[in-house]
Chain A
Amino acid sequence: MIPTLAVLGVTLATLVLGTAGLRYARTTSNFFVASRAVHPAWNAFAVCGEAMSAASYLGVPALVLVFGVDMLWTIVGWTLGFLLLSLFIAAPVRRFGSYTIPEFVEGRLDAPRLRPLVAITVIVSSWFFLLAQLKGAGVVTRSLLGTPYWVGVVAVGVLVAANLSAGGMRGITFVQGFQFFFIFLGILVPFSVLSALWWSDDDRDPIITDSTPVFLEATTATYPRTVEIDVIGPTAAVVDGVVDGVAVDGPFAFEAGRHRIGAATTIDWPEGAAVPHREGIEPLTGEEWAAPLGPKGLGSGHPLYFTYATVLASMFGIIALPHIVVRFYTNPTGRQARRTSLWVLAMIAPYYVMLPLFSALGRNLAPDLLSTGATDAATVVVPERAVDGLAAELLSAVVSAGATAAFLSTSSGLLIAMAGALSHDILSAGIPQFRRSVWLAAAVSIAAGLFVETIDINVLIGWSTSIAASSIGPLLVLGIWWSGLTRRGALATVVIGGTVTTGAVLITMFGLVDSGWPRAILSTPAAWSVPLAFAIGIVVSLLDREKVEQVAHKMALLHVPERSDAPKELV
Chain B
Amino acid sequence: MRRQRRVLPGSDSLAVLASLNELSRHLRQGLTTAAARRIAETALTMFEAQAVAVTVDDRIEAFAGERLPWEAEVATHTRSVLDRRRTGKPTVYEVTIGRDQAEVAVSVLEGDELAVGTIHVAAAGGRSVPVRELREFTELVSTQLELAELETSRTYAAEAELRALRAQISPHFLHNSLTAIAGLVHTDPARARSLIATFAGFLRAAFRTQTDLTTVADELRLVEAYLELEAVRFGDRFVTKLDIAPEVLPVRLPALTMQSLVENAIRHGLEQRPGHGELRITGRDEGPEVSIVVEDDGVGIDPDQLERALSGHDTTAHVGILATDTRLRKSFGPEYGLVIETAADAGTSVTMRLPKYAPHPSG
User: Chain B residues near A424 (CB, 8 Å)?
Assistant: 287-289
Stretch at the interface among A99-107, A393-401, A483-491: A99-107
User: Cα distance A99–B355 when bound, in Å?
Assistant: 9
B241 and A26 form a contact (CB under 8 A): yes
- CB contacts (< 8 Å) of A98 on chain B: these are 357
- A331 to B332: give the CA distance in the assembly, Å: 22
Q: Which of B228, B246, B284, B355 contacts A167 (CB 8 A)?
A: B284
CB-CB under 8 A from B356, the residues of chain A are 99, 329
Judge whether B335 and A170 touch: CB under 8 Å.
no
Q: Kindly state the separation between the CA atoms of A417 and B243 in the bound complex, as whole angstroms.
A: 24
Which of B215-223, B266-274, B294-302 forms part of the interface with chain A? B215-223
User: What sequence of 0s and 1s flags, for each residue 212-252 of chain B, a beta carbon within 8 Å of any chain A beta carbon?
Assistant: 00011110110110011001000000011111111101101
Q: Mark A1-36, 1 if CB is under 8 A from B, else 0.
A: 000000000000000000000111111101110111
Q: Which of A233-241, A310-318, A403-411, A428-436 contacts B (4 or more CB under 8 A)?
A: A428-436
Per-position binary interface string of chain A over residues 157-195, scored 1 when its CB falls under 8 Å from any chain B CB and 0 otherwise? 000000000010111111000000000000000000000
Distance of B265 from chain A, by nearest CB (Å): 14
Question: Do the beta carbons of A430 and B335 come within 8 Å of each other?
Answer: yes
Do the beta carbons of B245 and A107 come within 8 Å of each other?
no
Residues of A within 8 A of B136 (CB): none
Q: A173 and B247 in contact (CB under 8 A), knowing A34-B242, A332-B217? A: yes
Contacts of A430 in B (CB 8 A): 335
Closest Cβ–Cβ distance, residue B226 to chain A (whole Å): 10
A567 at the interface (CB under 8 A from B): yes
Query: Is there an interface contact between A171 and B240, defined as CB atoms closer than 8 Å?
Result: no
Task: Look across to chain A and name the residue whose beta carbon is closest to the beta carbon of B217.
Answer: A35
Q: A24-B241, A35-B220, A35-B221 are in contact. Are A429 and B246 (CB under 8 A)?
A: no
Quick one: given A167-B284, A416-B287, are A30 and B242 in contact (CB under 8 Å)? yes
- Cβ of B362 within 8 Å of any chain A Cβ, yes or no, is yes
Given known contacts A35-B217, A329-B250, A429-B289, is B357 in contact with A97 (CB within 8 Å)? yes
The verdict on B360 contacting chain A, using a C-beta distance below 8 Å, is yes
Q: Please indicate the chain B residues that have their CB under 8 angstroms from the CB of A345 in the complex.
A: none
Contact mask for chain A residues 84-127; partner B; CB cutoff 8 A; 1 contact, 0 none = 00000000000001111001001100100000000000000000
Query: For the complex, what is the distance from the CA of A420 to the CA of B357, rounded to whole Å?
Result: 13
Main secondary structure of the interface of B (DSSP, over half): mixed
B231 near A28 (CB under 8 angstroms)?
Answer: yes
Please measure, in the bound complex, the distance between the C-alpha atom of A27 and the C-alpha atom of B231, giving whole angstroms.
Answer: 11
The interface size bin for chain B is 35 or more
Indicate the member of B216, B221, B285 with the most A CB atoms within 10 Å. B285
* Cβ of A499 under 8 Å from chain B: no
Q: Which of A28, A35, A106, A549 contacts B359 (CB 8 A)?
A: A106
Given A97-B357, A567-B221, A173 and B246 contact (CB-CB distance below 8 Å): yes
For window 294-329 of chain A, which residues contact chain B by CB distance below 8 Å? 329
B307 at the interface (CB under 8 A from A): no
Check A107–B246 contact: CB distance below 8 A. no
CB atoms of B252 and A97 under 8 A apart:
yes
Whole-angstrom distance between the alpha carbons of A99 and B359 in the complex? 11
Q: Is A38 engaged at the interface, CB distance under 8 Å to the other chain?
A: yes
Q: Please judge, given known A-B contacts A37-B217, A330-B250, whether A169 and B285 are in contact too, CB under 8 Å.
A: yes
Could you say which residues of chain B place their CB within 8 Å of the CB of A428?
335
Interface centre among B34, B215, B239, B288 (most CB of A within 10 A): B288
* Cβ-neighbour of B242 out of A25, A167, A171, A172 (below 8 A): A25
Question: Within 8 Å of chain A (Cβ to Cβ): is B71?
Answer: no
User: Closest approach, in angstroms, between the C-beta of B297 and any C-beta of chain A?
Assistant: 15
B237 vs chain A, min Cβ distance (A): 13
Q: Is the CB of B247 within 8 A of A24?
A: no
Q: Is the CB of A550 within 8 A of B362?
A: yes
Contacts of B151 in A (CB 8 A): none
* Nearest-Cβ distance from residue B1 to partner chain A, whole angstroms: 41
* CB nearest neighbor in A for B224: A31
Task: Give complex CA distance A103, B285 in Å.
Answer: 17
Pairwise interchain contact B285-A23, C-beta atoms closer than 8 A: no
Distance to closest chain A CB from B247 (angstroms) = 5
How many residues of chain A get a CB closer than 8 Å to chain B's CBs?
50
Whether a CB of chain B sits under 8 angstroms from the CB of A557 is yes
Q: A330 touching B227 by the CB < 8 A rule?
A: no
A22–B242 CA distance with the chains assembled, in angstroms: 10
In the assembled complex, B314 has its CB within 8 A of some CB on chain A? no
Q: Is B286 close to A, CB under 8 A?
A: yes
Q: In the complex, A431→B286 CA distance in Å?
A: 8
In the complex, A423 Cα to B335 Cα: how many Å? 14
A550→B284 CA distance, assembly (Å): 34
Q: How far is the CA of A476 from the CA of B5 in the complex (A)?
A: 53
* Contact A27 B240, beta carbon cutoff 8 Å: yes
Residues of A close to B286: CB separation below 8 A: 167, 170, 431, 434
- The answer to whether A22 and B243 touch across the interface, beta carbons within 8 angstroms, is yes
Give A36 to B215 CA distance when docked, in angstroms: 12
Q: Is A570 an interface residue (CB 8 A)?
A: yes
Check if A38 sits within 8 Å of B246, measured CB to CB. Answer: yes
The CA of A22 and the CA of B220, in the complex, are separated in Å by 16
> How far is B244's CA from A51's CA once the two chains are assembled, in angstroms?
25
Beta-carbon nearest neighbor of B362 in chain A: A550
Residues of chain B contacted by A172 (CB below 8 angstroms): 245, 247, 285
Complex formed: what's the CA distance from A23 to B362 in Å? Answer: 37
Which B residues from 317 to 363 make CB contacts under 8 A with A?
A: 335, 353, 355-357, 359-360, 362
Query: Does the CB pair B335–A35 fall under 8 Å?
Result: no
Q: How far is the CA of A431 from the CA of B339 in the complex (A)?
A: 13
Q: Does A293 contact B (CB under 8 A)?
A: no
Given contacts A24-B241, A25-B241, A31-B242, contact A37 B249 (CB under 8 A): yes
Expressed in whole angstroms, the Cα–Cα distance for A173 and B243 within the complex equals 14
Of A28, A34, A332, which contacts B228 at CB under 8 A? A28
In angstroms, Cα B38 to Cα A415, docked, is: 45
Q: Does A348 contact B (CB under 8 A)?
A: no
Residues of A with C-beta under 8 A to B242? 24-26, 30-31, 34-35
Q: Roughly how many angstroms separate A100 CA and B241 CA in the complex, as a whole number?
A: 31
Q: Is A71 an interface residue (CB 8 A)?
A: no
Q: Can you list 24 A-B contacts (CB < 8 A)? A: A22-B245, A23-B243, A25-B240, A25-B242, A28-B231, A31-B220, A31-B224, A35-B217, A35-B224, A35-B242, A103-B288, A103-B357, A103-B359, A110-B362, A169-B285, A170-B245, A170-B285, A171-B247, A172-B245, A329-B250, A424-B289, A429-B335, A550-B362, A570-B217
Nearest 8 A-B pairs (CB), nearest first? A171-B245, A99-B356, A35-B220, A25-B242, A420-B287, A31-B224, A170-B284, A424-B288
A residues contacting B by CB (< 8 A) are: 22-28, 30-32, 34-38, 97-100, 103, 106-107, 110, 167, 169-174, 329-332, 416, 419-420, 423-424, 428-431, 434, 549-550, 554, 557, 567, 570
- Besides A27-B239, A31-B240, A419-B287, 5 more A-B contacts (Cβ < 8 Å) are A30-B242, A37-B249, A330-B250, A332-B217, A550-B362
